[in-house]
Amino acid sequence: MSILIKTLICGGEVSLAVLDTTALVQEAIARHKLSPVCAAALGRTLTAAAYLCSWLKGADDGLSVTVAGDGPGGKICVSGDSALQMRGFIEHTDVELPLRADGKLAVGACVGRHGTLTVIREEAGALPFVGTSELVSGEIGEDFSAYFYTSEQRPTAIAVGVKVTAEGECLGAGGVFLQPLPGASEESVSFAEAAIARYGDISSQIAARGAERIVGEDFSAAAMERRRIFYRCHCSREKIAGILLSMGRDELSRILEEEGKVSVHCHYCNTDHDFYAEDIARLFGDTEKEHGKTEHHPKT
């Protein structure tokens, strides 16, 4: 189970969030058949995006994150909502790179050090907010720190990490986020900056201690908010059927003739939704029924 724990420290002047996203990243690995370095790149992005989603208030609020670097992994796309239902993918899933000199996965080389990080936040009753910042290192944590500073004007100390075996087992994944609140003293800001240095191996610490113990043992704080994080895609056969209907019978008939089926691939959950001739006929039968042209009851 992946969880997010939030609380306040430094006399209420600093917001602390600790996430254990081990199960979330393991689900992403299983769905997308990720190499270790790709699992780390996508897993770190999922973790940071889940933290961003925790600030959403409305039931229908959501956001998307795109990391577009110049590395061999290609683009990373992650989406989530206020219920912490997360999903995401990396463009090239099988990248293999030598370990860094310190023995860690070369996430920066996989993502690339030149490019952009873009966040689109959609909240009820407001125009979508779009924030973009330049990548700093491709290591994800540093890039999100730069994003918070330049686009959100919220300086945030961030440590994110993923520990995965060569066989694709996620041993630990998560992050620590320390965000001084408006009006925080210089002492509290300095504390946050110094504290984050302890989490260069955050994935190992999550594996060994978990989020709850990190909050209690390292910050002498109790959780004020505890929430589960899920890997959940919002695609469905019904939604895709509606899109196919909008394409029209002639276009779908052409695809059926050439391919033998109409196949729609969801990148977020790596699922193919296949529609064959009888499925397409049933779709347009439903349309005719809505206009009173038939009384039969098609299967769904």
pLDDT in tens, 78-111: 999 999 999 999 999 999 999 999 989 999 999 9
pLDDT at 294 over 60: no
CATH topology of domain 237-290: CBS domain Like (3.90.1280)
The domains of the chain are located at: 2-231, 237-290
- Structurally, what CATH architecture does the domain formed by 2-231 represent? 3-Layer(bab) Sandwich (3.55)
Nearest-angstrom CA–CA distance, 262 and 239? 14
Task: Give the pLDDT confidence score for residue 113 in this predicted structure.
Answer: 95
| Residue 229 pLDDT class (50, 70, 90 cuts) | very high
